[in-house]
A and B are shown apart, each in its own frame.
Chain A
Amino acid sequence: MSTVTENLYLLTPEFLLAALALLVFALDLVLPESRKTWLAWIGMAGLTALAIFSVRMLAGRTESLYGGLLAVDQFSLFFKVFFMGLGVFIILSSVDFVKQHLSHPGEFYGILLFSILGMNMMAQARELVTAYIALELLSFSLYVLTAYARGNPKSNEAALKYIIIGAFSTAVLLYGISMIYSVAGSTHFDALAETLSSPGQAGPVLWVGVAFLVAGLGFKLAAVPFHMWAPDVYEGAPLPVTAYLAIASKAGAAALALRLISEGLVPAREVWPHWQIILAALAAASMLVGNLVALAQRNLKRLMAYSSIGHVGYLLAGMAALNIGGGMAANGIIFYLVGYAATSLVVFAALISFFNQTGQEEIADLAGLADRQPLLAAAIAIGLFSLAGLPIFAGFTIKFYLFAAVAQGGFLWLAGLAIFSSLISLYYYLQVIRQMYIQPVPGTAPDASGHGEEPSHTASHGQAVAGHASETAAAALRTPTGMLLAVVVAGLVAVLALGVYPGPLLEAIERASQVILPGI
């Protein structure tokens, strides 16, 4: 086989994915309105098949394609499977939503599939322009998806803000790339590392270039101070898209950043400590800003946005701790991404189910949810506890691993700060849980029979009756539909499994991170 055909062969999954997306678009034209759901099933089946196929085809292979533009290795394989798996669950949780709230379902799924293709490419890009193009594929899809609720001015506004700030940051990123190119003469990650560490070439132009690059990635990750679009976009986007943004696009950007930093910055040993400080500073700012501002939120999606900014802070802390021979931090980041994805999936699926039935998305709307729909309440509560980093859920294990890696990488103070901001985050997660479990169902509030909040007291002594919300038929909600239920249950299983038995996953992660940062 010639190199070209070999290269093409190795990209088979990507081609197939693109084909799948196109197929969905095509079928959208022919399928009648009532059968559009088929497209979702086709997408999911395709993704599942592709994931399996990729594993079978690529397991154990480490190849560099097109002169180092792309890497088909365990790292990218891991992320490919991860992204496609996520895609399945995101589609699964959006079907009902799309049916109820959005038009043009076919395109929705098609675009979603393209965005996954973008992420797959991001995970295997080893060159800046390739990465940029992949990033743009993802971003374009997200801009469209954000704007998908056409009649909703919030969706519209979110998309506008997203695309303008996105384009702005793209310009910044590209400007950075151009400066790097002008010094290094190449846009390969490894060339970047070489140039950075050769004293003659490294100068203000290169540094500013890398700084701009970092800013561009920071935007994608929504790291402070490049985070401000996130709350608006999360709030305005249709709920499944918000979920997708929070879970998948973040993971995609993180995968890209991880490879870029590992291959492009870490090997430049002389300057890497400076970058570590920058990353640590970004991490600290993200954790604090995200978690502190989240305290003041009332909208669930916005809350999740700020919370995700906080989580990005943790990821960045992990990136700051990357080191040659320090694969633990890379493991930690990947592990964190997976655990965070599983957890967020549970929360978002439950929220989608709630939204589908009530059309509400304020925190206060959740009041009494534990009485109205215990399963949803339990799922959200478990998800939030997990996000706050409490055992026996994934959140605890991933945080412990990541922070241990951060500490081990020499940033004990940063780990401490991360743990502290987890404490802050616990407060607002608990506020949500409080709404669901302690507050009464709205409308059934305090009455004479001792239901609801404590009755007013007149005596100087204490007397109270436990809050009790009656389960009236009007207030009760249905259990989630089969698809959302499946997502919730699968997510819960994953959250618990990662919480108590992460061993097998960590082995896979180690294989992946070995590629970008060999040796521990």
Chain B
Amino acid sequence: MDFFTAIEQSALFLIVLAPIAGALLTMFTSRERPQDAWHFAILVSAITLALSIFIFVQYDFRAGGYQLTHIFRWLGYPLDINLSLGVDGIAAPLVLLNGIILFGGVLVAQTIKRRSRDFFVLLLALGGGVFGVFVVRDLFFLFFFYELAVLPMYLLIGVWGSSTDFGTFRRTKEYGAMKLMLFLVAGSVLIWVGILALYVQAWKAGAPTFDMSTLAEMAQRGDFSEGLQRWVFPLFMIGFGVLAGLWPFHTWSPDGHVAAPTAVSMLHAGVLMKLGAYGIIRVGMELTPAGAEAWMPVLIGLGTVNVLYGAFSAMSQGDLKYVIGYSSVSHMGYVIMGIATLHPIGVGGAVLQMFSHGIMTALMFVLVGAIYDRAHIRDINVLNGLVKRMGAATFFFAIAGLASLGLPGLSGFVAEFMVFTGAFKEYLPLAVLAVAGAAVTAVYILRLLARSFFGEADPRWAHLTDLSPVEKGVAGAFVLILIAVGVWPEPLLRVINTGVASLLKVF
């Protein structure tokens, strides 16, 4: 077995192992030289990035199905839990997304000076958890990694975050971190119950297992009665929906962003929220298809609320991070809508939107973080004329903003277009509302650009320096991805289409 096949066979395992092992090893870097931890984390995340690219490229979209599969026996009967790995056309792009964002996040975390070692330990652990969710095929491990991805958030926000006084109310980092954590774990309570319900059902059907492929087969065979699915699916829908920012369970997200440091916000909005949507697809739709079918009208309704509510909320926010936070809520609404269409184009659009929004919002947070680092302020009514001092930041932010409002040629458009298309076929009135929501997005993005970036240069911001080379590099790379996907989405879409097609076979 040559090196290449060896990598191929263990790529999925390695991509989960690498960040977690990296996190453990980071603990042993020198406390006196914080840069060491950063450099080491860069190395680790570069490896994961390489692996994620490898996995994505290696995925054969013609063959479809789950690939690069591998099973590590873990616990036998009666639990039958195994570390079963595999990616399909839906997971592969998300693995790539996480690889990119983790790498970018680590790079821009250079500004973390205090206890930087701990920071990277947690950040890498978070990354490992996210990879885990995307590549496992076992409910236990999916949940395991899901929680693992949530766990570090508390400390990452609590320790390295910032508290903000908004005059009429305060948002401390403790509050943000605690709320985020409790919300996400509350969501996982529901997921957990749902998982157990399925397991019990599998037990009754004579084959207790947590293996998702087997469970999916059982679902198709009709071992899970429709009544069961009808009450289990909402558990998944809301449980994972919390993480996806599903209205009205979204408030943790903007507050979390406001408190979180840059790299954490990037991962939070960039990939963590995608876990939720991914969970609805992977667990909800795959394992309880009948329940999904019954509940999708509700879900798409909530998704539409997300879109409009998020957009309108974003419009009157004064804090850059709140704007982006609510904008994420709004954009995740498109993802949710796309999923809920159960239409191949809509679901495909949702997956593409996850990728696109991940990059876009990460880019925005890089820039907001850079501004905050320099100006120590995020109030869009106070910031203005940044273009004079931070030309590059403005340029990148403008592109991210344009991507956010669905400008064609950037990735957001293709995704949103597909979501609209799917929704248009299935739920016409809601699709109309969602399309209108896209126009609202333009309002707040342009308002933000006009207020904070363009406009007279304020002497208060005369001391600001433009992006550092690292930040420029990260932002530039993200912009390139946005454009590349916008102009030629086929490489992603052909993979996504395969995955979505086999996902939707049962509907």
Contacts and interface: CB of A to CB of B under 8 A. Distances in A.
Interface of A: 328, 370, 374, 381, 385, 390-392, 396, 400-401, 403-404, 407-408, 412, 415-416, 419-420, 422-423, 426-427, 430, 433-434, 437-438, 453-454, 457, 459-468, 501-503, 506, 520
A434 B163 CA distance: 14
Contacts of A412: 193, 196-197, 200
Contacts of B196: 403-404, 407-408, 412, 415-416
Given A401-B79, A407-B196, A438-B174, A466 B155 contact: no
A408 B203 contact: yes
A13 to B, nearest CB: 31
A396 B81 CA distance: 14
A390 B151 contact: yes
A462 B165 CA distance: 5
A373 B387 CA distance: 45
B28 to A, nearest CB: 13
Given A412-B196, A422-B189, A454-B162, 5 more contacts: A403-B192, A408-B199, A462-B379, A464-B162, A464-B164
B438 to A, nearest CB: 29
A408 B174 CA distance: 38
17 contacts: A385-B151, A391-B145, A396-B144, A404-B196, A407-B200, A430-B182, A437-B158, A438-B173, A454-B172, A460-B167, A460-B379, A462-B163, A463-B165, A463-B376, A464-B162, A465-B162, A503-B74
Given A385-B151, A423-B182, A400 B140 contact: yes
Contacts of A408: 78, 196, 199-200, 203, 208
Contacts of A374: 118
B148 A392 contact: yes
A207 to B, nearest CB: 30
Contacts of B185: 390, 423, 426
Given A416-B193, A438-B174, A454-B162, A426 B182 contact: yes
Nearest to A520: B78
A424 to B, nearest CB: 9
Choose among A401, A403, A460 the residue with the greatest number of B CB atoms under 10 Å from its CB: A460
A420 B166 contact: no
Interface in B173-222: 173-174, 177-178, 181-182, 185-186, 189, 192-193, 196-197, 199-200, 203, 208
Interface of B: 20, 74-75, 77-79, 114-115, 118, 140, 143-145, 147-148, 150-151, 154-155, 158-167, 171-174, 177-178, 181-182, 185-186, 189, 192-193, 196-197, 199-200, 203, 208, 258, 261, 318-319, 376-379, 381-382
Contacts of A501: 74
B196 to A, nearest CB: 4
A404 B201 CA distance: 11
Nearest to A371: B115
A427 to B, nearest CB: 6
Contact of A427 (B150, B160, B174, B182): B182
B160 A419 contact: no
B164 A520 contact: no
Contacts of A461: 166-167, 318-319, 377-379, 381-382
A454 B165 CA distance: 10
A434 B140 contact: no
Residue picked from B155, B258, B378, most chain A C-beta under 10 Å: B155
Given A391-B144, A466-B162, A407 B197 contact: yes
B114 A466 contact: yes
B167 A423 contact: no
Contacts of A385: 151
**6 pairs of A and B residues whose beta carbons are closest in the complex:** A462-B164, A461-B379, A457-B165, A407-B196, A460-B167, A454-B163
